[in-house]
Structure formats: C-alpha cells, structure tokens
Amino acid sequence: MRDHSAARLHPDSVAVAAGRPPREPDAPVNQPITPASTFHAGGPRGYARAGTDGSAAFEAALGALEGGSTVSFASGMAATAAVLAMLPASAALVIPTGFYNYHRTFFDNELALGRLGELRPVDITDSQAVIAALPGASLLWLEAPTNPSLLLPDLPRLAAAAREAGVLSVVDATVATPIGVRPLEHGLDIVMHSATKWIAGHSDVLMGVLSVTDAELHQRLMTQRNLTGATPGALESYLALRGLRTLPLRMQRCCQNAAVLAERLAEHPRVSAVTYLGSAEHPQAELVAKLMDHHGAVISFTLDSVAAADELCRRVELITHATSLGGVESLIERRGKYPGEQALGSPAELVRLSVGIEHAEDLWTDLSQALA
C-alpha cells in the first residue's frame, strides 16, 4: 500500500488516498472485500483472525490519519476490553467522573470481578486533580470531549504528566473524530474510537479501533485482539474504509448544521440549557479553540421536564429517535433516561442530538414543530 502520512498531506486528502491497493494495470482502485477465513500456507497471516487485506487497508488509512498505527476490533467495547486486558489485576485506573456510561459500567464490572484493583474517578477538566490521582495508577482513561457533557481534558498536559508518572494514557476521541483532534500528536499513548460512529458514518457497522505510535504496544494490541478473536468481519472492514473516505466532508456538513441548531436551540423558550463546543459560553472555549479543529456535531440540551424531553423525541419526524451518534442521519435521544447516565451526573431531562447531513433548515423545522 502507498504511504500517505498525515505529515505529508492534509487530513482531507489522507482520508481519500490512504489504504489503497498498489497502482498496477487493471488492479482495483478500491480494496476489495475479502470474504475468506482461511489462507494458503507460507504467508504471515494464515487465518482471518489475524486480519484480512480489507482490515489491513482500513487500519493503514486510519493510522495515516491519526499519525500512528491502528488495530481494528469487532466493536468499540472490544477495543476497550483489549486495553484493560493488558493490565494487571491490581491495576488502578484514573477515570472521568462523567463520561460514556457504558465504559463506566464495564470498568465497574471488571472491578467487581477482581480484574481491576481500583477506580479513581476525577474531574478531567481539573488537570491538577487528575495529576494528583496518577501516582501508583496503571492507566489514565480520558474522553475528548466527554459524552454527553461535552467537556474537554487538557490533552498535552495530562499526557505529559501520565508519561512522567509511568502511567499508560488512553483517550476515547469518538465524538471529536480524527478530523477534530489527533491525540497521538499531543503525546497520548492510545487513542480509541468507536468506528461505529462517524468513522464508518452510516449506522451500518459495529467496529472499534485503537491507534498508537509505539511499535511494541501496537504488537501487544494485535496479539490481544487475535487471542480473543475480536477481529472485525470482511464486510465491516470494507464499509468502515468506505465511510472513512468521506469523513472530512460529512463532518464539515454535520458541524455546520450543529452550529445553526445550537444557536437556535439556545434561544428557544422551551430549552433550559444548551451545551455545545462551539458556544462562546462554553466553560472551556479557550481549550476547545486550542485543541479542536472543529466544534463537533453533538448538542446536549435540557428541557423543563422529563415529559417534555420524551415528547420531543417522540414528535420528531425527520430526525431519528434512536440510540447512537455519528450517522449521516440526525439522531436524538433522552440520555438522562438511563440510570447509569444519571449516576454520572446527567440530568434526567438531558437530550443528546447527533446532527447529521440533512439540510439545516429542515432539521430546524422538525425540531420547532416537535418543541411546539
């Protein structure tokens, strides 16, 4: 495969050019699907659990975009499990007080089963508090930004502190995407994405990824994936790579739409509060400007009651009422309905809107009628 590193090309071009087959007469321009589990002897692979040409092409493309090497997994949670599986049973984890609630549920479960030693929840917007929690820890888990509260850790500072303390640093950058932030450039050891979301982008793939710069760590993650059989399928790899090609364009449109909707929601009389990375009132506006290349396509907002939030989600017609984010279609859900979400500080009436690529005026018309 041709080398298309992020250092040589703009990310928009890397997304299109990286991970292509060799340019040979009559060779395919796109990496074909490889529906095979077994390969002839004599090569390094031998069996599809070690990956296929399709998964390798996707990993090469995303790795070029991230500025490192990528390992793909059957889901985002499988990717997370691979990281934890490398830790000793006595490991202490420094984690956010508020972040993706299924990650917290997973960490709590591993702790209860004796596979972790300690969880140290901390406000990751308070860098001093995070640094104070690092001594004796094995892992620092961050989100950039957090889901659904949309708060941002100081990635360069915390990465440097973790390295000095000998702590492995990981950041879930699913909401930002590699177009919004590339944590490896800020010194993080591992960047994780649920590729199910914006990277694949069409609500038809279940997949996760981990990207690193350290060759030994990359090999450890590859070994862990192969031992547990968490390799993505041939079709999933194909669809994820196809989605990656248009990621910059989709994010541009999604972010433009989100900026329009966030401003109008903030002015709507039925909306109590709006959290959006592009807002001038965001408590970390300076850090957002420093770290992020865009303001994202997620808006979190609250209405005056749970009933109003549920009614809004029921009444939308163009926007889809469903659990997830990052698709070409706009998705809405009352995230506060989940006990795990409330336990992490989300208000019961919190609504999360993942903005898609529809026309902004049509989206606003739909929200307006649903709020009326």
Q: 192-202: per-residue pLDDT in tens?
A: 999 999 999 99
CA-to-CA dists, residue 147 to 104, 210, 335, angstroms: 12, 18, 10
Between CA 286 and CA 357, with CA 179 as vertex, the angle to 5 degrees is: 100
Is the pLDDT at 19 greater than 70, yes or no? yes
Can you tell me the distance from the alpha carbon of 354 to that of 298, in angstroms, rounded to the nearest whole number?
5
pLDDT digits (tens, 9 = 90+) for 21-54: 999 999 999 999 989 999 999 888 888 888 999 9
Is the pLDDT at 1 greater than 60, yes or no? no
CA 101 and chain centroid, separation: 14
pLDDT at 337: 86
> What residues pair up with 139 in beta bridges, in sequence order?
93, 168
Can you tell me the distance from the alpha carbon of 162 to that of 180, in angstroms, rounded to the nearest whole number?
23
Is the pLDDT at 6 greater than 60, yes or no? no
pLDDT band at 56 (very low <50, low <70, confident <90, very high): very high
Span 109-113, mean pLDDT?
A: 97
Radius of gyration for the chain, computed over Cα atoms and rounded to the nearest angstrom: 21
pLDDT digits (tens, 9 = 90+) for 154-181: 999 999 999 999 999 999 999 999 999 9
Strand ranges in 52-135 using DSSP code E only, listed in sequence order: 69-73, 92-96, 118-122
pLDDT at 46: 84
pLDDT band at 5 (very low <50, low <70, confident <90, very high): low
Span 63-67, mean pLDDT?
A: 97
φ, ψ at 4 (rounded to 5°):
-130, 80
Catalytic residues: 49, 100, 172, 197
pLDDT at 334: 95
Pairing of strands 298-303, 350-354: antiparallel
Is the pLDDT at 7 greater than 70, yes or no? no
> What residues pair up with 274 in beta bridges, in sequence order?
301
pLDDT digits (tens, 9 = 90+) for 278-296: 999 999 999 999 999 999 9
Span 15-20, mean pLDDT?
A: 96
Q: What domains appear along the chain, each with residue ranges and CATH number?
A: 11-245 (3.40.640.10), 248-371 (3.90.1150.10)
Is the pLDDT at 70 greater than 70, yes or no? yes
Long-range contacts of 337-341 (CB under 8 A, 24+ apart): 337/306, 337/310, 338/101, 340/101, 340/102, 340/104, 340/105, 341/101, 341/148
